[in-house]
Structure 1
């Protein structure tokens, strides 16, 4: 009877833990679609759209900070892509090996049958592969946004750059959430009870992190006076370059 309880803990606690995580993320998606200002995701995307609109209104020579910001995001996404790929390779090699007795001892309070052990590792591998694909797509969209922002002498639509930045941010978010799920499944290796406890704690922590109580700031576009000041500075810089060239020629 005791062996039956231990074996079926995986059948009871693991699905409940995963449903708890999936249910929370469905609730978060519903809040983001219906009331985006109440979520931290909607708050960040609102600021990113305003940032892109502001950056595209300045001269091409003054967009260096924008390119630097996107480059830092590309570097972070590339690093997480490499980490996810390495972990996926290690787990795949571990599954392919015949020595998988490390986490099948009697101290694991749960099922230690070979089929359950393989399901644990395959589930963990799937999460890291999803994270790898999402971080790779993040890099692709941010690279495209960097090209659009740094394109000289071209009237690039603001919506095009905003779409690339928001898509890259969304793929980044999905990749991070996949790592959260991978953390839960990693604890499942030590038994279904740590996995279920981790699911409950993580949902509570994410609920506090994902909600937003700060009102959305209504950004104002660059006014005519600011645009005229930018044009004056641009004309002054061009005039200075012409005077310097003329002095060198003489």
Structure 2
């Protein structure tokens, strides 16, 4: 009795293959980020954020409203995406709890349309949205912490502490977006394994174009006078004071 081909076998071949392609790409991206961060867009952006934190700490505490405003924008974005992820999780949970079954008849889907396979589809999509929700919540947590630290008086908080909070928030943000990419690809599985596989390959091609960085790392100056009006005025005041003292000293002679 020989083996006979069935269209349900496409799910056993294309779906794991598409998931493996996306997982392999992200593992290679993680390796490049850890070993060669300058070659990735994430490493390039984190370098700019570290420099941004250093420059913001050179400003007087009362003038750091722009820094708090930037962090507030990040908080709004992460809060919105976490809310969207939670709502989608609720919708998928409602679909799973619905016993009426599949709304799309099998004639529109080329692949396995059994109830067990449909349940696996929704559970995997739900897992991705739950991961995205958790990551965006952690993003909010770290950016709130960075906002508290950056509003403290200068010199009381080490620069590394604020940089760590900002970078961790950015990394959780990146992981949350990747979870949404996985969820979007798995959503294509609802329409069959072929759309899922095509979506996985297309997503990897687009992400590779976006994740590769070909620009050299920007080396920011470490001088506190650059971009700092308060320090610049203090330096001018010291120079004027030295000139006045010189005139007074010559007048006494």
| TM > 0.5 fold call | yes
Residue-by-residue CA offset, 1:40-94 (whole Å, 9 max, x unaligned): 0000000000000111111101211110000000000000010000000010011
For residue 229 of structure 1, the aligned residue among 209, 232, 251 is: 232
| SS, match of residue 219 in structure 1 | coil
**How well do the aligned residues superpose, as a CA RMSD in angstroms?**
2.1
| SS, match of residue 215 in structure 1 | coil
| Aligned CA distance change for structure 1 residues 81 and 92 (closer, same or farther; 3 Å) | same
1:176 matches 2:177: yes
* Aligned mates of 1:228, 1:81 — CA distance in 2: 40
Unpaired runs of 5+ residues, structure 1, are: 236-250
| Aligned CA distance change for structure 1 residues 104 and 230 (closer, same or farther; 3 Å) | farther
Residue in 1 that maps onto 2:251 = none
* Aligned mates of 2:236, 2:107 — CA distance in 1: 75
Moved over 3 A (4+): 223-228, 230-235
Instruction: State how many pairs are aligned.
Output: 235
Q: CA deviation at 1:103?
A: 3.0
**Structure 1 length as normaliser, TM-score?**
0.89
* Aligned mates of 1:81, 1:230 — CA distance in 2: 43
Residue pair 1:138, 1:168 contacting (<8 A) in 2 also = yes
Residue in 1 that maps onto 2:162 = 161
| SS, match of residue 27 in structure 1 | helix
| SS, match of residue 6 in structure 1 | coil
Residue in 2 that maps onto 1:80 = 81
* Aligned mates of 2:53, 2:132 — CA distance in 1: 26
Residue pair 2:78, 2:140 contacting (<8 A) in 1 also = yes
Residue in 2 that maps onto 1:68 = 69
* Aligned mates of 2:116, 2:166 — CA distance in 1: 42
* Aligned mates of 1:92, 1:234 — CA distance in 2: 65
| Aligned CA distance change for structure 1 residues 95 and 230 (closer, same or farther; 3 Å) | farther
Deviates more, 1:151-160 or 1:90-99: 151-160
Unpaired runs of 5+ residues, structure 2, are: 239-253
Residue in 1 that maps onto 2:201 = 200
Q: CA deviation at 1:151?
A: 1.6
**Structure 2 length as normaliser, TM-score?**
0.88
Larger radius of gyration: 2
Residue pair 2:18, 2:201 contacting (<8 A) in 1 also = yes
Residue in 2 that maps onto 1:247 = none
